[in-house]
Amino acid sequence: MPKSPDQCGTEGHATIVDNDIYYRSKKVAGSNSKEPYTKLALAPRAPMHQFVDAVAAAKDQPLVSLREAAARVMVMKAMCQAAHDHTLVNVGRGLVRGSPKRQIKTVIQDTALKPEKQRLIFISAAGILLMVALAAVLSGVVGIGEPRYGGRPVSHWVNELALSDGKSYQQSSEALRALGEKALPYLTG
């Protein structure tokens, strides 16, 4: 006797066995999963028929409520993310409070904005690194913050003094004397 996977929702529970639907629901009298759906006395139409139509793959009939669907989406999303990250998952962590439509809207927005958030983080990090690198280059090469003489920083004159011949030695010693006390940290460091 071929049996389908059970279909569960807020409106009840159904199983398909040999092309017959067996249905159980607290809202429908006589639905006890022992008699096929076709042999049940017709009960109030709305909940039972909606559920059976959904199980039988009728279009646009919900198998579960919007709230339950949103919760299931959040659980599946958390489980997929945990499997991707190779970690354990707390499925209650991401559930949103409020109406079911708001919950589903939040789920859709979260999945839609994720690449944009990652792109924003990447661009921000790249911009910060670029600014730090530029500041490091400018402070090392240009000598930002160093006292200057003749348009050149103190470090240039100290290097000229160390590697100089007669004429450049005179120029660099003149420049360092003119800078005075401002040049002392660069001469002793």
Where do the structural domains in the chain lie, given as residue ranges? 7-64, 68-134, 145-188
Give the DSSP per-residue string, 141-153. II-TTS-EETTEE
pLDDT of residue 117: 75
pLDDT of residue 127: 92
More reliable by pLDDT, 62 or 131: 131
More reliable by pLDDT, 131 or 71: 131
Amino acid at 16: I
Residue 182 near residue 147 (C-beta atoms within 8 A): yes
For the question of whether the overall pTM of this predicted structure is more than 0.75, the answer is: no
Q: Would you say residue 120 has pLDDT above 90?
A: no
Q: What interhelical angle do 100-137 and 66-85 show, nearest 10?
A: 30
Quote the Cα angle for 33-24-40, to 5°: 70
pLDDT of residue 4: 52
